[in-house]
Structure 1
Amino acid sequence: MTLIEITLPKTIAKALHLPASSPRRQQLKVLKKLLKKAKLTEFGQHYRFDEILMSKHIGKRFQQLVPTHDYNAIYKQWWNKTLEGKRDVCWPGKIKYYALSSGTSESASKYIPVTEDLLSGNRMVMIKQLFSLRHYDDIPFANLRKGWLMLGGSTELQQGKGYYAGDLSGITAKKVPFWFTPFYKPGKKIAKMSDWNDKIEEIVEQAPNWDISFVVGVPAWIQMCMEKIVERYKLATIHDIWPNLSFFVHGGVSFEPYKKGFEKLLAKPLTYIETYLASEGFIAYQERQNAKGMKLSINDHIFFEFVPFDDKNFDSDGNLVENPTTYMIHEVEEGRDYAILLSTSAGAWRYLIGDTVRFVDAERCEIVITGRTKHFLSLVGEHLSVDNMSKALQLATEELNVSIPEFTVAGVPHGSFFAHHWYVASDDHVDAALLRNKIDQHLKELNDDYAVERASALKEVYLDVLPEQTFMDFLESKGKIGGQHKFPRVLKGNMLQDWKAFLSKTTIS
């Protein structure tokens, strides 16, 4: 008997066995549910949700009447009212929680509304993901009943006028279901700690007392935590202290750059499970073992639309144009990059989340994350995506047998032309010139536009190898240590200037 069978009420388990239907039908059902719930809100009245619900083509009418929004647009017109305590603005009731999110490029915190409906939907997706494990081969199901170390933000939330704000991981941990409490680590006391270094130290201290089978979190911070445990207790691998460790649930960034360094800490392979949990909702999860992508949560609490990520729909800075071309789930094509629009059970409506994805299996609704709408380089038309960068780096590190868990790239002037400047993190011995040449060559093979521009206006590629700790220290200097914080793969504007100033100070000291 598994943890799931022991703890889940029969009614919930029964609800998960949903009748098979087309993705389009499932998505329209979700949209109707969202519109009905929010039709009496200020937003619903303004954009005539009643009329949309009566339409024969509800999806198309929704797209005609409701405009697209980025964060600044929806916050300025709508969400700011909820922070003042106003009820029934974009979702029924009062918003009591906000996920603080600054993405990976902007310094000002964004206040993303979090409702009980959203959290309930997130939990349902999490349970579905657990159920999907029964399709995996050689899964040690007995380990599901052991400890789950979830490394996230503090549950000690900031208090505003009638609301609380913090990392979504902290809000989620604060509201852990009762049936999960016996398995949840590091426990409420440690989870409440706001100082990341103190939290890690306490986890290291308690590590011998736990029997951990699952670790959940951003790869860089999970790896750092395990390294400190191995170092403290003079272990060969993390399995010397947690012999039942079997699963790593990760998300937010590509795991490939971390994999080589991560597996040095293991005595036996782990089952890797990818998730796509954003502040706005639980978007997708890996449903099948060794699947190339993650399955979108299309029949729960999110209605998806997809905007082709091209020059027609986005300007040179990655901003969405007015009236972009948008597609529903049944209209997408495999192998094409799309930006995601979300409408959710927390009052996000046609909201640009900022991520770009590619469908690897449209029939199964499986996607991979390819980057961010503002995290790409196209100084002279090279159209270089984060996906291109990650793949080129992965190929180069495999050829050189080195571990590079972090990297970032900036576009810089080069005389009258331009260049790319790579900064990579590695504690291995790395031949910077050789790595630079291999990355450059792989990018030419992966991206035709890049190859063309390298022969014309993109004149040079620079590469600096830095200690891994330098990247972590920069995040800490920006107040982005731990939890869900990730290093930006492309640096632009103020963040690039801050990075250069930080490196200058580090070199001097």
Structure 2
Amino acid sequence: MGIKAALSKPFAAFAVWQINKWKHNAVKAQQKILLQLLQDAKHTAFGKDHHFAEIQNYSDFKKHVPVQDYEGLKPYVDRVVAGEADVLWKGKPQYFAKTSGTTSGVKYIPLSKESMPEHIKAARNAILTYIHETGKSDFVNGKMIFLQGSPILTQKHGINIGRLSGIVAHHVPAYLQKNRLPSYETNCIEDWEQKVDAIVKETMKENMTLISGIPPWAQMYFDKLSEQAGGKKIAEIFKNFSLFIYGGVNFEPYRAKIEQSIGKKIDSIETYPASEGFIAYQDSQKDKGLLLLANAGIFYEFVPADEYYNDNPTRLSLGEVELDQNYALILNTNAGLWGYSIGDTVKFVSKNPYKIVVTGRIKHFISAFGEHVIGEEVEQALLTVANEEQVSITEFTVAPQVNPNAGELPYHEWFIEFANPPKDMTAFSKKVDQALQQKNIYYFDLIEGNILQPLIIRSLEKDAFVNYMKSEGKLGGQNKVPRLSNDRKLAEGLEGYIIA
């Protein structure tokens, strides 16, 4: 055991001791954070406009601060981007994380000197809790790769701007820098395909022990590695590769293909980072729930997903949530986001401690016929059948077909890129449709009532999604294919890749 591996164990024990101090007192921690956030921001423009000085508790807070998305906060964000101080949070942000929005164009998410350390601490603690639970630490002596955006930053009114993953690259602890790949020069390559090719070249002969990235882009890296190594599995190329860290999308649709590419089962840690804050991570290999970070500068609110579009939806604090209910996640942060709907939906799978699973996007659903099918339902329906049939899936998305051929009923159209296709596509489609009917009673009623016909699967050619994303200028580590759309834009883009 190397010196880093040996030192990591007492470091991990100390980190877990600190986590446990708030882990089982999360509601109390949340109450304290709300009051601290209000105190720190009461002299800001937003704080004055929303009477922060008068707010004594969560009930008061709900009366003064509305739930809003980026569009709702944009007038304040625009002032911050223009260089004004003390608008949403005290002073000016340390960074803007630049993201793309569906309605807002480019979004600028503020990161403050208070919020930035929480991102770094959460990523570190995800690894340390793993070491403490499993006793496995040898991987820290090997090379680690983080598939991420370019670390090149621009400036606007003295504030650095970049992708979150590129910003985080500037905060990697010194003790990890020697182990970290790719090189800074390679990380700066903007073209994703060129970048992955360069990463493959840099890492092929290295002792890679930890790999981290969004699953579909990690898969692209694995495919290129295997191709360069004459078809070898990743476990043959990197004999000491033992830990995969991922986030950004649900891993389950990619698990079978990635494990097949690796050639063996390895431990993995799921994380839930976002530009708006690091929200949760998997703190145990014994369950898949993600520990909600209740003491990390964020006060959370939860809106029942089926009320989200109501004029006056129910808003709940952490102590009021129930298990197995679908909630839209609302953030109030120490970077100045207030009543901010991040767009994700979550369910609680434990309340002691508070653990969640991410179930989808509040705007990513299909309800063209009143069915309100969500991402969790389509993923579980497809994966249940795929596992039974030993079918592997690279990527997929679903859209409604509301204008079918004459004489046909409307239907849900599934675009699937198979790594290992089913032997009988008709039987496979029928099983997936039945599984979805069991998960969504409204969809069942529409099929039974002959409003919809059963779903239709379009099998896509190899690399269809990669090529489509490339054609849209969205090929890269932070871009994700939506599972569900209520329109046909993505479906129409994929039609040219259908296997006849």
TM-score by length of 2: 0.92
Assess, with a 3 A threshold, how the Cα gap between structure 1 residues 389 and 501 changes in structure 2: closer, same or farther: closer
Q: Contact (CA 8 Å) 2:257, 2:392: kept in 1 or not?
A: yes
> 2:155–2:161: 8 Å Cα contact kept in structure 1?
yes
* Greater shift in the superposed pair: 348-357 or 289-298: 289-298
- 1:97·1:113 contact (CA, 8 Å) conserved in 2? yes
Code of the aligned partner of 2:429: R
Pairwise CA distance, 1:4: 8.6
Given that 1:16 and 1:128 are in contact with CA atoms closer than 8 Å, whether structure 2 keeps it comes out as: no
2:308 to 298, 308, 313: 313
- Percent of counterpart pairs with the same letter? 34
Matched, 1:342 2:331: yes
Q: Is residue 32 of structure 1 aligned with residue 35 of structure 2?
A: yes
Secondary structure (helix, strand or coil) at the match of 1:136 reads: helix
Report what 1:148 is aligned to.
144
Asked if the contact 2:464/2:494 (under 8 Å) is kept, the reply is no
Q: How many Å apart are 1:503 and its aligned residue?
A: 2.9
1:168-209 residue CA offsets vs partner (Å, 9 max, x unmatched): 111111332323212221132211221211211111111134
SS in 2 for 1:426: strand
Closer, same or farther: CA 22–400 of 1 in aligned 2, 3 Å? same
Gaps of 5+ in 1: 315-320
* One-letter amino acid matched to 1:108: G
* TM-aligned CA distance change 1:245 to 1:178, over 3 Å: same
Shift of 1:480: 1.6
Query: For 2:393 and 2:469, how far apart are their aligned partners in 1?
Result: 17
Q: Could you tell me which residue of structure 2 aligns to residue 61 of structure 1? A: 60
Partner of residue 71, structure 1: 70
Is this contact kept in 1: 2:93–2:113, CA < 8 A? Answer: no
Backbone CA RMSD of aligned residues: 2.5
Q: 2:318 aligns with which of 329, 339, 355?
A: 329
Partners of 1:98 and 1:163 within 8 A in 2 = yes
Distance 1:210 1:36, change over 3 A: farther
The alpha-carbon distance between structure 1 residues 267 and 499, as it changes in their structure 2 partners (threshold 3 A), is: closer
Which whole-Å CA distance do the structure 2 matches of 1:266 and 1:29 have between them?
Answer: 44
Aligned length: 491
- For the pair 1:425 / 2:417, whether they are aligned, the reply is yes
Q: CA deviation at 1:223?
A: 1.1
The yes-or-no answer on 1:434 pairing with 2:423 is: no
- Counterpart position of 1:298: 294
Q: Which amino acid aligns with 2:136?
A: P
Residue pair 2:368, 2:486 contacting (<8 A) in 1 also:
no
Query: Aligned equivalents of 1:18 and 1:258: distance in 2?
Result: 32
Aligned to 1:167: 163
> Are the equivalent residues in 2 in contact too, given 1:4–1:130 (CA < 8 A)?
no
Q: Is the 8 A contact 2:79 2:87 kept in 1?
A: yes
1:482 aligns with 2:476: yes
Determine if contact 2:126/2:269 at 8 Å carries over to the other structure: no
Matched, 1:447 2:440: yes
CA distance in 2, matches of 1:245, 1:159: 38
Contact 2:182–2:203, Cα closer than 8 Å, also in 1: no
- Superposition deviation, residue 349 in structure 1: 0.6
User: How do 1:165-314 residues align onto structure 2 when only pairs under 5 Å count?
Assistant: 165-310=161-306, 312-314=307-309
Q: Which residue of 2 aligns with 1:126?
A: 123
Q: In the TM superposition, what is the alpha-carbon distance from 1:343 to its structure 2 partner?
A: 0.6
Amino acid at match of 2:40: K
Partner deviation per Cα, 1:25-44 (whole Å, 9 max, x = no partner): 11011112222222221111
Q: After superposition, give the CA deviation of every residue in 1:298-343 in whole Å (9 maximum; x if it has no partner).
A: 0111110000011x332xxxxxx43321001010000110000001
Letter in 2 for 1:500: E
Q: Distance in 2 between matches of 1:472 and 1:294?
A: 29
Please give the alpha-carbon distance, in whole angstroms, between the structure 2 residues aligned to 1:134 and 1:270: 14
Letter in 1 for 2:466: M
SS at match of 2:410: strand
Matched, 1:94 2:89: no
The answer to whether 1:16 aligns with 2:10 is no
CA offset at residue 439 of structure 1? Answer: 0.8
**Worse-matched range after superposition: 117-126 or 161-170:** 161-170
Counterparts of 1:41 and 1:8, CA distance in 2: 41
In 1, Cα distance between the equivalents of 2:91 and 2:350? 38
1:135, CA displacement in angstroms? Answer: 4.5
Q: How many angstroms does 1:250 deviate by? A: 0.9
Q: Does the CA-based 8 Å contact 2:143-2:210 persist in structure 1? A: yes
CA distance 1:417–1:347, change in 2 (3 Å): farther
Shift in alpha-carbon separation, 1:8–1:41, aligned structure 2, 3 A? farther
Match of 1:47 in 2: 50
Query: Over residues 139-173 of structure 1, what are the superposed CA-to-partner deviations in whole Å (9 max), with x where a residue is unaligned?
Result: 53111232211001111234445333332111111
Higher mean alpha-carbon deviation, 206-215 vs 361-370, is at 206-215
Report the CA distance between 1:261 and its aligned residue: 1.2
Q: Counterpart of 2:495 in 1: which secondary structure? A: helix
Residue 495 (structure 2) aligns with: 503
For 1:406, the equivalent position in structure 2 comes to 395
Counterparts of 1:250 and 1:150 in 2: how far apart (Å)?
10
Deviation string, structure 1 residues 366-392 (Cα, Å, up to 9, x no partner): 111111111111223322110000001
Q: Which amino acid aligns with 1:340?
A: L
Question: Helix, strand or coil for the counterpart of 2:343?
Answer: strand
> Is the CA contact (8 Å cut-off) linking 2:374 and 2:484 kept in structure 1?
no
Matched letter for residue 425 of structure 2: A
The SS at the match of 1:131 is helix
Matches within 5 A, 1:388-407: 388-407=377-396
